[in-house]
């Protein structure tokens, strides 16, 4: 549906849509945090872990086979995320929510906490969080374990203090695991009930998160895509802004703030 627009034209079209939208749902993926320096899934495969396939590490099977390896890999990512800051895109989204009369809902596939650190409340972390650990047997929540500042190939997981049988695992959704039901239901609802859906930095490859923009599109709700590259959403997006999150979002929100009464 979208036609080829320059970034400026696309931004203007997006600003016009944003001006009239009261209920705004923003869906974010790995590209949202790229300019903060959060390594994407594959970029994280450096150093000690470069010889491991990420899809082999982010599975219940990998955990069962080698908990210390899996634990160390996630704790290294905890350290990496703690050492970076939200970017101008995260900050713009937080500002959007403060525009009078706007109800902005954030649904993210990211397991970092950069939206929260920019001041946003996240409605749904569809793929869990690096900061929500739990027992792998009794599921009782546990504090995030100590994350060393240097990478270790193996770190034995903490033992659950509640049941004393399980090990503390990262609260992320691994391949082959279901999404958290309540969060996915909430995400479906805000995509169906929105006046505008904005999709930022997600390729649209990973299901079922990738179905969400289509729920909006099927109801005639405008969908804005912000991504430097074409994605699986491009074909049906109302407007595609070929720019980065930190480039496009501040310009969009500045224009909105300037005219909001």
The answer to whether residue 122 forms part of the interface with ligand APR (CB under 6 A) is no
Q: How many CA atoms lie within 13 A of 56 on its CB side?
A: 9
Among 39, 119, 145, 228, binds ligand APR (CB under 6 A): 228
The answer to whether residue 25 forms part of the interface with ligand APR (CB under 6 A) is no
For the beta carbon of residue 148, count every other beta carbon within 10 angstroms.
13
The answer to whether residue 35 forms part of the interface with ligand APR (CB under 6 A) is yes
- Number of amino acids touching ligand APR (CB under 6 A): 22
- CA-CA-CA-CA dihedral for 68, 167, 111, 35, to nearest 10: -30
| Neighbouring residues of 173: CB distance < 8 A, sequence distance ≥ 6 | 126, 127, 128, 179, 180
Among 10, 13, 17, 29, binds ligand APR (CB under 6 A): 29
Catalytic-labelled residue, pool 127, 139, 152, 214: 127
> What is the gyration radius of the CA atoms in the chain, in angstroms?
19
The minimum distance between CB 22 and ligand APR, in angstroms, equals: 25
Residues 68-87 that bind ligand APR (CB under 6 A): none
Among 5, 7, 39, 40, binds ligand APR (CB under 6 A): 40
C-alpha span between 249 and 243 (Å, rounded): 9
For ligand APR, which stretch binds (CB under 6 A), given 19-27, 32-40, 160-168, 188-196? 32-40
Please confirm, yes or no, whether 115 is among the known catalytic residues.
Answer: no
Q: How far is CA 248 from CA 117, 120, 238, in A?
A: 20, 18, 16
Q: Give the DSSP H or E segment for 225.
A: strand 223-226
The Cα angle at residue 225 between residues 177 and 26, in degrees rounded to 5: 60
**Contact at 8 Å (CB) between 242 and 228?**
yes
The minimum distance between CB 205 and ligand APR, in angstroms, equals: 5
The answer to whether residue 245 forms part of the interface with ligand APR (CB under 6 A) is yes
Among 7, 188, 206, 257, binds ligand APR (CB under 6 A): 206
The answer to whether residue 49 forms part of the interface with ligand APR (CB under 6 A) is no
Among 10, 27, 34, 122, binds ligand APR (CB under 6 A): 34
Nearer to ligand APR by Cβ, of 64 and 205: the residue is 205
Per the listing, tokens 């039901």 go with 181
- Provide the token pair at 20: 């009239």
Residues annotated as catalytic are 127
- Residues binding ligand APR (CB under 6 A): 29-31, 34-35, 40-41, 109, 127, 200-203, 205-206, 226-229, 231, 244-245
């Amino acid at each position: 549906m979208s036609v080829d627009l320059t970034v400026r034209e696309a931004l203007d079209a997006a600003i016009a849509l944003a001006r009239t939208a009261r209920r705004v749902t923003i869906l974010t993926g790995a590209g949202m945090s790229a300019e903060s320096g959060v390594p994407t899934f594959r970029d994280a495969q450096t150093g000690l872990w470069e010889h491991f396939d990420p899809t082999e590490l982010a599975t219940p099977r990998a955990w069962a086979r080698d908990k210390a390896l899996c634990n160390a890999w996630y704790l290294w990512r905890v350290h990496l995320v703690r050492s970076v800051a939200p970017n101008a895109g995260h900050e713009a989204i937080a500002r959007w929510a403060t525009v009078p009369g706007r109800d902005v809902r954030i649904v993210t596939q990211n397991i970092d906490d950069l939206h929260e650190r920019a001041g946003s409340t996240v409605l749904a972390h569809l793929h869990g969080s690096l900061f929500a650990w739990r027992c792998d047997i009794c599921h009782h929540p546990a504090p995030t374990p100590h994350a060393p500042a240097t990478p270790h190939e193996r770190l034995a997981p903490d033992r659950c203090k509640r049941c004393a049988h399980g090990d503390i695992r990262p609260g992320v959704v691994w391949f082959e695991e279901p999404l958290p039901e309540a969060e996915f239901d909430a995400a479906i609802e805000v995509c169906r009930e929105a006046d505008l859906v904005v999709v930022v930095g997600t390729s649209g490859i990973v299901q079922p998160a990738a179905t969400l923009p289509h729920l909006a599109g099927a109801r005639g709700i405008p969908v804005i895509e912000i991504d430097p590259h074409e994605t699986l959403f491009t074909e049906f997006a109302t407007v595609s802004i070929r720019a980065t999150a930190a480039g496009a979002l501040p310009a969009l929100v500045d224009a909105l703030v300037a005219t909001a009464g």
